[in-house]
Amino acid sequence: MKLDFDPRENMSVFAYYYSQTKINKINDFLQKRRIIKNWYIVSLFRAGLKKTVRIKFRDGKQVYIKSEKEYHDFWNSELGTK
């Protein structure tokens, strides 16, 4: 969608980048929800309410994640790209 105005003119630089970060997080969540069967448990892990998580994909594959770093490494690796 193309805007007729520049939203950065109406808000501070911090507010603009904060809003962009929130939009990216929402899009990331929606994309992963489509391919992860137990997305609600993964959400608890991402919120810090679970220490480990077993990600169950809709195609039957599973990955056991022990830390936040391991989670990010998985999604940034070639294995994580779907």
Domain ranges of the chain: 11-76
Position 26 pLDDT exceeds 50: yes
- Which of helix, strand or coil describes residue 13? helix
**pLDDT bracket for residue 29 (50, 70, 90):** confident
What pLDDT is stored for residue 3 in this prediction? 63
What pLDDT is stored for residue 7 in this prediction? 60
Structure tokens at 18: 């904060």
Residue 52 DSSP label: -
Report pLDDT digits (tens) over 33-81. Answer: 999 999 999 989 988 899 999 999 999 999 999 998 998 898 888 554 5
Taking the whole predicted model, whether its pTM rises above 0.85 is answered as: no
